[in-house]
């Protein structure tokens, strides 16, 4: 018998018994011990430009037409420390310019019109740094992180604690996550505009989650979260903004993931039901499709189109025309975020893996409009935002 040099040509169609065997073989070989600590360090950076559309000139009575333009730079380092612990450092730097609604009034036809904050506009930066550690046990993970955020007129310090436990042969994971944040606001030009000099608020938030593996292609997660805030919750920059000094928020989130073997793609769907004691209720639905393309091209590329729909009802004390004659202590706000509206957004992301470098690029467009609302809109806000963002990110593992 002579030696034969040959190519290893593998037929694409495997027999049924081979598929059955490869299923269990693949599972065994690629078995990741769920929630295992990272085995290598990863540094991630991501830069985003966020831009809000200018308001239309007939919507603005006074001030600049342009809204916020924000550059966000994010940084993350995840590194293993011991065999079962890891360290995580997160940072972000945002620089913001633009204007924000100051007060709303009515035009000659009695329709609401926005007055944007001073001709000088707003320039601010926000720096956030947090550091945390995770410890991995056989069926549990524990993590703790602390952080600070600073803006020209706002400081916050927060702590976050998380715990997960896997049970039921690791098919079910229960998680608890609690964060406490102490925030302080000290408005600029407080004297000049007769704003509050400084104020504080505290937030406590807890989420309980249960995720369950349904079958080998799909998984479901349900979570409730409760957030309580106490302190100064109003907007000191608005001419007239009085809100209650406590707020309770409840959210119920449902997530479903399913993998389509033949298409080599995953579908993510999420739904959130929300209610708070300002009287706001909301629905959020989003879908994203994670399509792998590596069968067609010689490197790992994934593209992820996504759509999102959001709608909320208005707060009890929302008004679209500030009423300066009413009781100055009675809750009242013309903040567009307290109005009833709907928002539709669509985005796309590309993720390319080049050995130890990953490049992510993407964008999103979001439009909020009164007519998109699923709730009754008795007092439409004219200050609703339309924004676009584009991002590029790099992850480097070593």
Partner 1 sequence: MKEKFLNIKFKGMGSPCEITLMGSPNEEETLTALQHEVSRLEQKYSRFLKNSVLNAINASAGDPRGFTVDEETLAIFQHAAACYDQSDGLFDITAGPLNKIWDYRKAIVPDKNTIEETLQNVGFKRIAIKNRKVFLPSGMELDFGGIVKEYAADRLATIASKNSNLMGLINLGGDFAVIGSKHTKYKPWKVGISCPKRPSVAIAEIALHHGGLASSGDYLRCFELHGKRYSHLLNPVTGYPSTGWQSVSIAAPSCLLAGSIATIAMLKPLQESSDFLRDAGLAFVAVDSDGKMLTNLE
Partner 2 sequence: MTLIQKHILGLLVLLSTLNLTACVEVRAWEKGYLAKEEMAWNPDILEDALAKHIFFSKEASSGSSSAAGGGCGCN
DSSP line for 196-236: -S-EEEEEEEEEEEEEEEEETTEEEEEEEEEEEEEE--S-T
First to last CA, the chain: 47
Q: Pick between residue 62 and residue 250 the one whose CB is nearest to partner 2.
A: 250
Residue 140's alpha-carbon distances to 34, 83, 164, in angstroms, are 10, 15, 5
- Identify each DSSP E strand in 313-385 by its residue range: 341-354, 357-369
- What is the side-by-side strand order in the sheet with 101-106? 60-62, 112-116, 101-106
Shortest CA distance to 341 belongs to which of 318, 323, 307, 364?
318
Q: Is residue 369 a contact point for partner 2 (CB under 8 A)?
A: no
Interface with partner 2 (CB under 8 A), residue from 200, 249, 367, 370: 249
Contacting range for partner 2; rule: CB under 8 A; set: 27-35, 58-66, 192-200, 322-330: 27-35
Stretch that binds partner 2, among 9-17, 72-80, 113-121, 191-199 (CB under 8 A): 72-80
- Which residues in the 345-364 window bind partner 1 by CB under 8 A? 355-356
Residue 5 as a binder of partner 1 (CB under 8 A): the answer is yes
Q: Which of 243, 290, 331, 373 binds partner 2 (CB under 8 A)?
A: 290
123 contributes a contact to partner 2 by CB under 8 A: no
The Cα-based distances of 160 to 9, 36, 37, 193 in angstroms read: 53, 20, 19, 36
Give yes or no for residue 310 binding partner 2 (CB under 8 A): yes
Indicate which single residue of 37, 114, 128, 382 sits in contact with partner 2 (rule: CB under 8 A).
128
By CB under 8 A, residue 83 contacts partner 1: no
* Residue span 32-61 as binding mask against partner 2, x where in contact by CB under 8 A, dash where not: x-x---------x-x-x-x-----------
Residue 133 binds partner 2, judged by CB under 8 A: no
Per-residue burial over 320-350, b = 16 or more CB atoms within 10 Å of its CB, e = otherwise: bbbeeeeeeeebbbbbbbbbbbbbebebebe
Is residue 257 close enough to count as binding partner 2 by CB under 8 A?
Answer: yes
Out of 222, 245, 370, 388, the only residue in the binding site for partner 2 (CB under 8 A) is: 222
CB-wise, 139 or 246, nearer to partner 1? 139
Query: Can you tell me the distance from the alpha carbon of 353 to that of 293, in angstroms, rounded to the nearest whole number?
Result: 11
Integer Cα distance of 158 and 136 in angstroms: 23
Among 41, 90, 157, 169, binds partner 1 (CB under 8 A): 169
377 contributes a contact to partner 2 by CB under 8 A: no
Q: If binding is defined by CB under 8 A, does position 330 make contact with partner 1?
A: no
- By the criterion CB under 8 A, which residues form the site for partner 1? 1, 3-15, 17-18, 20-31, 33, 39-40, 169-170, 294, 298-300, 355-356, 397
């Amino acid at each position: 018998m002579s030696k034969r040099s040959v190519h290893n040509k593998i037929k694409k169609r495997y027999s049924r018994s081979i598929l059955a065997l490869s299923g269990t073989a693949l599972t065994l070989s690629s078995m990741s011990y769920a929630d295992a600590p990272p085995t290598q360090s990863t540094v991630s950076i991501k830069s985003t430009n966020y831009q809000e559309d200018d308001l239309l000139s007939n919507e603005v009575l006074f001030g600049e037409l342009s809204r916020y333009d924000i550059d966000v730079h994010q940084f993350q380092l995840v590194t293993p420390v011991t065999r079962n612990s890891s360290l995580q450092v997160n940072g972000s730097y945002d620089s913001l310019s633009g204007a924000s609604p100051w007060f709303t009034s009515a035009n000659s036809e009695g329709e609401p019109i926005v007055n944007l904050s001073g001709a000088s506009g707003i320039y601010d930066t926000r720096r956030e740094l947090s550091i945390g550690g995770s410890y991995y046990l056989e069926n549990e993970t524990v993590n703790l992180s602390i952080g600070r955020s600073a803006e020209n007129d706002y400081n916050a310090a927060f702590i976050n604690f998380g715990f997960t436990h896997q049970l039921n042969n690791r098919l079910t994971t229960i998680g608890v996550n609690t964060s406490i944040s102490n925030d302080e606001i000290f408005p600029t030009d407080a004297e000049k505009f007769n704003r509050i000099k400084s104020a504080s608020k505290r937030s406590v938030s807890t989420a309980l989650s249960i995720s369950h593996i349904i079958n080998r292609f799909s998984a479901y997660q349900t979570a409730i979260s409760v957030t309580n805030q106490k302190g100064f919750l109003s907007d000191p920059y608005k001419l007239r903004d009085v809100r209650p000094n406590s707020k309770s928020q409840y959210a119920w989130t449902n997530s479903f993931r399913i993998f389509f073997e033949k298409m080599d793609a995953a579908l993510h769907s999420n739904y959130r039901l929300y209610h708070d004691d300002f009287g706001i209720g909301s629905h959020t639905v989003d879908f994203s499709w994670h399509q792998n393309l590596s069968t067609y091209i010689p490197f790992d590329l994934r593209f992820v189109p996504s759509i999102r729909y959001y709608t909320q009802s208005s707060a009890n004390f929302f008004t679209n025309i500030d009423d300066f004659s009413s009781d100055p202590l009675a809750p009242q706000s013309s903040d567009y975020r307290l109005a009833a509206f709907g928002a539709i957004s669509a985005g796309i992301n590309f993720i390319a893996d080049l050995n130890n470098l990953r490049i992510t690029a993407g964008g999103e467009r979001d439009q909020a409009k009164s007519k998109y609302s699923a709730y009754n809109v008795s007092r439409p806000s004219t200050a609703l935002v339309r924004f676009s963002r584009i991002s590029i990110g790099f992850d480097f593992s070593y």
